[in-house]
Amino acid sequence: MNAVPGTPAPGTAAAFAALLRAREPLVGYWCVLDSPVSTERIARLGYDYVALDAQHGLIEYAGVLASLTAIDTKGSTAVGLVRVEANDPMPIGKALDAGAAGVIVPLIDNAQDAADAVAAVRYPPLGNRSYGPMRSGLRIGPNPADAHRETVVLAMIETAEGLANVEAICATDGLDGVYVGPSDLRIALGGATSTDPAVAAEFEAALVRVRTAAAAAGIAAGIHNPDGTAAAKRIAEGFTFATVACDLVHLEQVAAGHLQAARAKGETR
C-alpha cells in the first residue's frame, strides 16, 4: 500500500514511532541469538519490529550492530529495537548510534528512573544523549529534532516497586510506552518460578493495572509473550504492542517437534 503523502513511509523508524504513539496494535519478535542472517529472515516475515536482547541475550555490541543492519535490509517490514543492558546513557546511546529505532530499558522502578531513561534517548536541551550518530545518521535523524520524533523509549515494568509506581512512571514526560517483563514480574509478585501458576490472579491484576495506567497517560503498553496465540490474547485485552519470543527457544521447539515426527512410535535413544 502506498504511503499517504506527508506521512512516514511504512517500515521506517518514523512510521513505527507514529504508530506506537498513536497506540496502534503492533506485533514484534524477540531475538537473543547473535545471528544476523536468521534475524534478517525474521525481519522479512511481516513483524512490525524485531527486538534484540542485549541484556539477557547472547549478543555483544558488534552483534547488535550487525543485526540492526540486517533488520534494515531489502524486504524488511520491521524496525530494530534494542533491550539495553542497563538504564545508563552509555549503552542506550550506543544502541541508538548503531541504528536502533528505540530502546527498551530494564528495571524501571520509579518516575525518576523513567525520566533518566528518557534523558538518555534525547539530545540537549531535552536530555543528555551525546551526539555521534555513526550509523543511525544514515536513516534516523540525524538532526536532533528528527531523531526525537523518530526514536522511541520504552520502560520495563518488571519489579514490585515498578508496579507500585506504574502510574507515575507512565506520566513521565517524553516516555513513549511501558513494557511488561512477565518473568521478572511474576517472581516479584511472589512466584516461585517465572511461570508459577500460584500467583496467576495477582499477575493478571498487575497486567490490568499496567495497561490501565498506560491508557490513562496516553502511552503505549506492551508485553513479552511466549508465542503468537498469547500475543493475540494480550492485544485483545488492551495491550497495544506484543512481542513473540524468542529465536533460541523456538529453534529448539521446532527441532524437537521434527525429531518426534521423524522417529517411529516415539522411540527414544
pLDDT tens by residue, 176-223: 999 999 999 999 999 999 999 999 999 999 999 999 999 999 999 999
Catalytic residue among 56, 224, 250, 258: 56
Q: In the predicted model, what is the mean pLDDT of residues 127-156?
A: 96
Helix axes 61-71, 36-43, angle to 10 degrees: 30
pLDDT at residue 3, rounded to an integer: 46
Q: Is the pLDDT of residue 6 over 60?
A: no
* Residue 258 annotated in active site: no
**CA angle (126, 88, 130) in 5-degree steps:** 45
Q: Which three cell numbers stand for residue 103?
A: 530502546
- Is the pLDDT assigned to residue 236 strictly greater than 90? yes
Mean model confidence pLDDT for the chain:
95
- According to DSSP, the β-strands at 79-83 and 177-180 are unpaired
CA nearest neighbour of 211 among 175, 238, 184, 186: 238
What sign has the CA pseudo-torsion 121, 123, 127, 128?
A: positive
Q: Does the pLDDT of residue 2 top 60, yes or no? A: no
Alpha carbon distance 221, 212 (integer Å):
9
Question: Residues 65-109: pLDDT tens digits?
Answer: 999 999 999 999 999 999 999 999 999 999 999 999 999 999 999
Whole-number pLDDT of residue 266: 59
Segment holding 15, helix H or strand E: helix 13-21
**Which of 224, 241, 198, 227 has the alpha carbon at shortest distance from 83?**
224
Compute the distance between CA of residue 139 and CA of residue 34 in angstroms, rounded to an integer: 23
pLDDT bucket at 265, cuts 50 / 70 / 90: low
The answer to whether the peptide bond before residue 170 is cis (omega within 30 degrees of 0) is no
The three cell numbers of residue 15 are: 512510521
Percentage of the residues of the chain whose pLDDT score is greater than 90: 93
State yes or no: pLDDT of 5 exceeds 60. Answer: no
pTM attached to this predicted model = 0.94
* Per-residue model confidence (pLDDT) at position 95: 98
Q: By C-alpha distance, which of 81, 64, 88 is closest to 20? A: 81
Helix ranges, 32-159 (H): 36-43, 61-71, 89-97, 111-121, 144-150
| pLDDT tens for each residue of 18-55 | 999 999 999 999 999 999 999 999 999 999 999 999 99
In this structure, what are the phi and psi dihedrals at residue 153, rounded to the nearest 5 degrees? -130, 125
